[in-house]
Amino acid sequence: MLIRHPDDILPSEITTPRLYQERRRFMSLAGGMALAGILPAGTAHASPASLGPILKSPLSTSEGQTPFKAVTTYNNYYELGTDKEDPAQNTYRLKTSPWTVRVEGLVNKPRTFGIEEILKLVPLEERIYRMRCVEGWSMVIPWVGIPLATLLKLADPQGSARFVEFVSHYDKGTMTRGVLDWPYNEALRLDEARHPLTLLAVGLYGELLPIQNGAPLRLVVPWKYGFKSGKSIVAIRLTEKQPVTAWMKAGPSEYGFYSNVNPEVDHPRWSQATERRIGEFSKRKTLMFNGYADQVASLYSGMDLRRNF
Protein backbone atom coordinates (compact mmCIF):
# COMPACT_ATOMS: atom_id res chain seq x y z
CA MET A 1 0.00 0.00 0.00
CA LEU A 2 1.26 3.44 -0.93
CA ILE A 3 1.16 5.95 1.88
CA ARG A 4 1.10 9.44 0.44
CA HIS A 5 2.87 12.02 2.49
CA PRO A 6 1.17 15.41 2.22
CA ASP A 7 3.31 17.80 0.27
CA ASP A 8 3.24 20.52 2.90
CA ILE A 9 6.81 21.69 2.96
CA LEU A 10 7.69 24.37 0.44
CA PRO A 11 11.04 23.81 -1.24
CA SER A 12 12.10 27.27 -0.06
CA GLU A 13 11.45 26.21 3.52
CA ILE A 14 13.87 23.31 3.43
CA THR A 15 17.15 24.21 4.97
CA THR A 16 20.02 23.59 2.61
CA PRO A 17 22.74 21.24 3.89
CA ARG A 18 25.27 24.04 3.73
CA LEU A 19 23.16 26.31 5.94
CA TYR A 20 22.40 23.42 8.25
CA GLN A 21 26.10 22.74 8.64
CA GLU A 22 26.80 26.40 9.22
CA ARG A 23 24.17 26.61 11.93
CA ARG A 24 25.54 23.50 13.62
CA ARG A 25 29.01 24.99 13.51
CA PHE A 26 27.82 28.34 14.89
CA MET A 27 25.91 26.68 17.69
CA SER A 28 28.75 24.47 18.78
CA LEU A 29 31.13 27.37 18.52
CA ALA A 30 28.84 29.72 20.44
CA GLY A 31 28.17 27.01 23.00
CA GLY A 32 31.84 26.36 23.42
CA MET A 33 32.61 30.02 23.82
CA ALA A 34 29.76 30.53 26.26
CA LEU A 35 31.06 27.59 28.29
CA ALA A 36 34.52 29.03 28.22
CA GLY A 37 33.02 32.27 29.46
CA ILE A 38 34.29 34.22 26.49
CA LEU A 39 30.85 35.36 25.44
CA PRO A 40 28.76 37.23 27.97
CA ALA A 41 25.48 35.35 28.51
CA GLY A 42 23.44 38.06 26.83
CA THR A 43 25.10 37.86 23.44
CA ALA A 44 25.03 34.09 23.00
CA HIS A 45 21.45 33.97 21.75
CA ALA A 46 20.29 35.38 18.49
CA SER A 47 18.38 38.65 18.66
CA PRO A 48 14.61 38.05 18.45
CA ALA A 49 14.51 40.43 15.49
CA SER A 50 17.10 38.41 13.60
CA LEU A 51 16.08 37.37 10.11
CA GLY A 52 18.08 34.17 9.76
CA PRO A 53 19.99 33.30 6.61
CA ILE A 54 20.33 36.14 4.14
CA LEU A 55 21.83 35.93 0.67
CA LYS A 56 24.48 38.40 -0.42
CA SER A 57 23.78 40.30 -3.60
CA PRO A 58 26.05 41.40 -6.44
CA LEU A 59 23.96 44.58 -6.54
CA SER A 60 25.39 45.69 -3.20
CA THR A 61 27.96 48.47 -2.91
CA SER A 62 31.19 47.94 -1.03
CA GLU A 63 31.21 51.49 0.32
CA GLY A 64 31.45 52.04 4.06
CA GLN A 65 28.09 51.55 5.76
CA THR A 66 26.42 54.30 7.78
CA PRO A 67 26.38 53.25 11.46
CA PHE A 68 23.21 51.54 12.68
CA LYS A 69 22.67 54.32 15.22
CA ALA A 70 22.61 57.05 12.58
CA VAL A 71 20.38 54.98 10.28
CA THR A 72 17.88 54.50 13.10
CA THR A 73 17.89 57.95 14.74
CA TYR A 74 17.98 60.29 11.74
CA ASN A 75 14.76 59.63 9.89
CA ASN A 76 12.18 61.35 7.78
CA TYR A 77 8.95 59.63 8.75
CA TYR A 78 6.48 62.47 9.12
CA GLU A 79 3.64 60.29 10.41
CA LEU A 80 5.78 59.78 13.51
CA GLY A 81 6.97 63.40 13.77
CA THR A 82 8.62 65.93 11.50
CA ASP A 83 11.98 66.33 13.24
CA LYS A 84 14.70 63.85 12.38
CA GLU A 85 14.85 62.45 15.93
CA ASP A 86 11.07 62.22 16.34
CA PRO A 87 10.35 58.90 14.60
CA ALA A 88 12.79 56.94 16.76
CA GLN A 89 11.15 58.38 19.87
CA ASN A 90 7.58 57.84 18.69
CA THR A 91 7.75 54.20 17.62
CA TYR A 92 4.90 53.35 20.00
CA ARG A 93 2.54 55.12 17.62
CA LEU A 94 2.74 52.31 15.08
CA LYS A 95 1.73 48.70 15.71
CA THR A 96 3.21 46.43 13.07
CA SER A 97 1.62 43.15 14.08
CA PRO A 98 -0.60 41.87 12.59
CA TRP A 99 0.27 43.34 9.20
CA THR A 100 -1.02 42.65 5.73
CA VAL A 101 -0.39 44.21 2.36
CA ARG A 102 -2.92 44.12 -0.47
CA VAL A 103 -1.77 43.79 -4.06
CA GLU A 104 -4.70 45.11 -6.05
CA GLY A 105 -5.88 47.11 -9.03
CA LEU A 106 -5.05 45.98 -12.53
CA VAL A 107 -3.86 42.48 -11.62
CA ASN A 108 -5.23 39.09 -12.53
CA LYS A 109 -4.59 37.65 -9.10
CA PRO A 110 -5.28 40.27 -6.46
CA ARG A 111 -3.98 39.03 -3.15
CA THR A 112 -3.44 40.02 0.44
CA PHE A 113 -0.15 38.91 1.91
CA GLY A 114 0.59 38.59 5.60
CA ILE A 115 4.00 39.92 6.51
CA GLU A 116 5.06 36.40 7.60
CA GLU A 117 4.29 35.13 4.11
CA ILE A 118 6.45 37.80 2.52
CA LEU A 119 9.34 36.92 4.82
CA LYS A 120 9.19 33.34 3.49
CA LEU A 121 8.25 33.94 -0.14
CA VAL A 122 11.77 33.69 -1.50
CA PRO A 123 15.16 33.73 0.20
CA LEU A 124 15.87 37.15 1.69
CA GLU A 125 18.68 39.14 0.14
CA GLU A 126 20.98 41.74 1.59
CA ARG A 127 21.24 44.83 -0.59
CA ILE A 128 23.73 47.46 0.48
CA TYR A 129 22.50 50.59 -1.25
CA ARG A 130 23.31 54.26 -1.26
CA MET A 131 20.37 56.34 -0.08
CA ARG A 132 20.19 59.96 -1.18
CA CYS A 133 17.70 62.29 0.47
CA VAL A 134 16.29 65.24 -1.47
CA GLU A 135 17.52 67.42 1.41
CA GLY A 136 21.14 66.89 0.41
CA TRP A 137 22.36 64.13 2.71
CA SER A 138 23.03 60.48 2.06
CA MET A 139 23.70 57.16 3.77
CA VAL A 140 24.81 53.65 2.86
CA ILE A 141 22.35 51.13 4.27
CA PRO A 142 22.45 47.33 4.30
CA TRP A 143 18.80 46.56 3.58
CA VAL A 144 17.26 43.10 3.70
CA GLY A 145 14.37 42.28 1.43
CA ILE A 146 13.02 40.72 -1.72
CA PRO A 147 12.80 42.15 -5.21
CA LEU A 148 9.48 43.92 -5.68
CA ALA A 149 9.27 42.15 -9.04
CA THR A 150 8.75 38.84 -7.20
CA LEU A 151 5.59 40.07 -5.55
CA LEU A 152 4.31 41.73 -8.71
CA LYS A 153 4.78 38.53 -10.65
CA LEU A 154 2.64 36.61 -8.18
CA ALA A 155 -0.16 39.13 -8.65
CA ASP A 156 0.15 38.89 -12.44
CA PRO A 157 -0.29 42.49 -13.69
CA GLN A 158 -2.74 43.02 -16.53
CA GLY A 159 -1.60 44.38 -19.86
CA SER A 160 -3.15 47.76 -19.21
CA ALA A 161 -1.22 48.33 -15.96
CA ARG A 162 1.41 51.04 -16.40
CA PHE A 163 2.02 52.37 -12.90
CA VAL A 164 2.35 50.98 -9.40
CA GLU A 165 1.12 52.98 -6.44
CA PHE A 166 2.27 52.35 -2.87
CA VAL A 167 0.04 53.37 0.00
CA SER A 168 1.50 53.74 3.48
CA HIS A 169 -0.26 52.98 6.71
CA TYR A 170 -2.01 55.90 8.37
CA ASP A 171 -3.74 56.05 11.71
CA LYS A 172 -5.45 59.34 12.38
CA GLY A 173 -5.68 58.54 16.07
CA THR A 174 -1.97 58.18 16.74
CA MET A 175 -0.09 59.73 13.83
CA THR A 176 0.77 63.28 12.74
CA ARG A 177 -2.19 65.25 11.44
CA GLY A 178 -1.86 67.82 8.71
CA VAL A 179 1.49 68.60 7.01
CA LEU A 180 0.79 66.19 4.12
CA ASP A 181 -2.37 64.72 2.64
CA TRP A 182 -2.49 61.34 4.41
CA PRO A 183 -2.16 58.48 3.83
CA TYR A 184 1.26 58.90 2.29
CA ASN A 185 1.46 57.48 -1.19
CA GLU A 186 4.18 57.08 -3.74
CA ALA A 187 4.33 55.55 -7.19
CA LEU A 188 6.62 54.17 -9.86
CA ARG A 189 6.26 53.35 -13.49
CA LEU A 190 5.72 49.59 -13.88
CA ASP A 191 9.12 49.09 -15.52
CA GLU A 192 10.79 50.97 -12.64
CA ALA A 193 8.88 48.83 -10.16
CA ARG A 194 10.01 45.66 -11.91
CA HIS A 195 13.65 46.74 -12.08
CA PRO A 196 15.96 44.32 -10.26
CA LEU A 197 17.28 47.12 -8.02
CA THR A 198 13.81 47.91 -6.68
CA LEU A 199 13.55 46.26 -3.31
CA LEU A 200 10.74 45.51 -0.91
CA ALA A 201 12.68 45.77 2.33
CA VAL A 202 11.78 43.94 5.53
CA GLY A 203 14.97 44.56 7.44
CA LEU A 204 18.29 46.34 7.78
CA TYR A 205 21.59 45.32 9.30
CA GLY A 206 20.33 41.72 9.33
CA GLU A 207 17.40 42.48 11.60
CA LEU A 208 13.72 43.22 11.13
CA LEU A 209 13.10 46.82 10.08
CA PRO A 210 12.95 49.21 13.02
CA ILE A 211 9.63 51.07 13.16
CA GLN A 212 11.25 54.43 12.36
CA ASN A 213 12.70 53.00 9.16
CA GLY A 214 9.30 51.95 7.86
CA ALA A 215 8.48 48.64 9.52
CA PRO A 216 7.43 46.09 8.68
CA LEU A 217 7.62 46.58 4.94
CA ARG A 218 8.94 49.43 2.84
CA LEU A 219 10.08 50.22 -0.62
CA VAL A 220 13.71 50.99 -1.51
CA VAL A 221 14.41 52.59 -4.88
CA PRO A 222 18.08 53.52 -4.63
CA TRP A 223 18.36 55.71 -7.74
CA LYS A 224 15.58 58.05 -6.64
CA TYR A 225 15.40 60.53 -3.78
CA GLY A 226 14.51 58.88 -0.48
CA PHE A 227 10.92 60.07 -0.30
CA LYS A 228 10.04 57.88 -3.28
CA SER A 229 10.62 54.85 -1.07
CA GLY A 230 7.38 54.66 0.88
CA LYS A 231 7.37 53.23 4.40
CA SER A 232 5.02 50.85 6.23
CA ILE A 233 3.21 49.84 3.06
CA VAL A 234 -0.32 48.46 3.28
CA ALA A 235 -1.37 48.50 -0.38
CA ILE A 236 0.33 48.06 -3.73
CA ARG A 237 -2.00 49.15 -6.48
CA LEU A 238 -1.50 48.76 -10.21
CA THR A 239 -3.02 51.51 -12.28
CA GLU A 240 -3.24 52.72 -15.83
CA LYS A 241 -3.00 56.42 -15.01
CA GLN A 242 -0.04 58.04 -13.33
CA PRO A 243 -0.95 58.43 -9.65
CA VAL A 244 -0.59 61.81 -7.96
CA THR A 245 1.76 61.29 -5.05
CA ALA A 246 1.72 62.93 -1.62
CA TRP A 247 4.69 65.21 -2.30
CA MET A 248 3.45 66.13 -5.77
CA LYS A 249 0.23 67.30 -4.13
CA ALA A 250 2.17 69.24 -1.49
CA GLY A 251 4.54 70.99 -3.90
CA PRO A 252 4.09 70.27 -7.60
CA SER A 253 6.90 72.63 -8.59
CA GLU A 254 9.31 71.06 -6.10
CA TYR A 255 8.60 67.35 -6.31
CA GLY A 256 8.13 65.64 -9.62
CA PHE A 257 6.82 62.17 -10.33
CA TYR A 258 10.20 60.73 -11.29
CA SER A 259 12.42 62.36 -8.65
CA ASN A 260 15.49 60.58 -9.94
CA VAL A 261 18.70 61.64 -8.21
CA ASN A 262 20.13 64.19 -10.63
CA PRO A 263 22.98 66.58 -9.74
CA GLU A 264 22.08 68.80 -12.69
CA VAL A 265 18.49 69.51 -11.74
CA ASP A 266 18.30 71.55 -8.55
CA HIS A 267 15.47 71.54 -6.11
CA PRO A 268 14.28 75.16 -5.76
CA ARG A 269 15.63 75.23 -2.22
CA TRP A 270 18.62 72.94 -2.35
CA SER A 271 21.41 72.48 -4.81
CA GLN A 272 21.52 68.82 -5.75
CA ALA A 273 25.08 68.99 -7.05
CA THR A 274 26.60 67.81 -3.79
CA GLU A 275 25.57 65.84 -0.73
CA ARG A 276 26.80 65.21 2.77
CA ARG A 277 27.27 61.54 3.55
CA ILE A 278 26.13 61.18 7.15
CA GLY A 279 29.23 60.82 9.31
CA GLU A 280 31.49 62.66 6.86
CA PHE A 281 32.68 66.24 7.12
CA SER A 282 33.14 67.39 3.54
CA LYS A 283 30.46 67.14 0.95
CA ARG A 284 30.82 64.79 -1.98
CA LYS A 285 29.63 65.16 -5.52
CA THR A 286 26.21 63.68 -6.17
CA LEU A 287 26.21 61.07 -8.92
CA MET A 288 23.67 60.78 -11.72
CA PHE A 289 20.95 58.33 -10.68
CA ASN A 290 22.78 58.15 -7.34
CA GLY A 291 25.54 56.14 -9.01
CA TYR A 292 23.16 53.57 -10.53
CA ALA A 293 23.22 55.08 -14.03
CA ASP A 294 24.66 51.91 -15.58
CA GLN A 295 21.67 49.92 -14.41
CA VAL A 296 18.82 52.40 -14.80
CA ALA A 297 19.69 55.12 -17.34
CA SER A 298 18.14 53.05 -20.13
CA LEU A 299 14.73 53.35 -18.44
CA TYR A 300 14.76 57.03 -19.32
CA SER A 301 16.39 57.11 -22.74
CA GLY A 302 14.97 59.89 -24.87
CA MET A 303 13.32 61.62 -21.93
CA ASP A 304 14.04 65.22 -20.98
CA LEU A 305 15.00 64.72 -17.33
CA ARG A 306 14.85 68.45 -16.66
CA ARG A 307 11.17 68.47 -17.51
CA ASN A 308 10.46 65.03 -16.08
CA PHE A 309 12.11 65.81 -12.75
Q: Which of 93, 162, 189, 276 binds other proteins (CB under 8 A)?
A: 276
Residue 255 C-beta: closest distance to other proteins, Å: 10
Contact flag: residue 93 with other proteins (CB under 8 A): no
Q: Which of 274, 284, 303, 308 binds other proteins (CB under 8 A)?
A: 274
Residue 79 C-beta: closest distance to other proteins, Å: 12
- How many DSSP H helices and E strands does the chain contain? 9, 12
The interface with other proteins within residues 279-298 (CB under 8 A) comprises 279, 281-283
Whether a cis peptide bond, with omega within 30° of 0, leads into 98 is yes
Residue 135 C-beta: closest distance to other proteins, Å: 7
Which C-beta is closer to other proteins: that of 166 or that of 227? 227
Q: How far apart are CA 207 and CA 51, in angstroms?
A: 5
If we measure between CA atoms, which residue out of 212, 227, 285, 214 comes closest to residue 258?
227
**Using CA of residue 126, residue 189, residue 185, residue 228, what is the dihedral sign?**
positive
Which segment (42-50, 186-194, 213-221, 262-270) binds other proteins by CB under 8 A? 262-270
CB 91 within 8 A of CB 73: no
If we measure between CA atoms, which residue out of 237, 265, 267 comes closest to residue 255?
267
Q: Kindly state the greatest CA–CA separation across the chain.
A: 77
Q: Which of 278, 287, 293, 305 binds other proteins (CB under 8 A)?
A: 278
Contact flag: residue 73 with other proteins (CB under 8 A): yes
> Rule CB under 8 A: which residues touch other proteins?
69-70, 73-74, 78, 82, 84-85, 135, 137, 179-180, 250-251, 266, 268-271, 273-274, 276, 278-279, 281-283
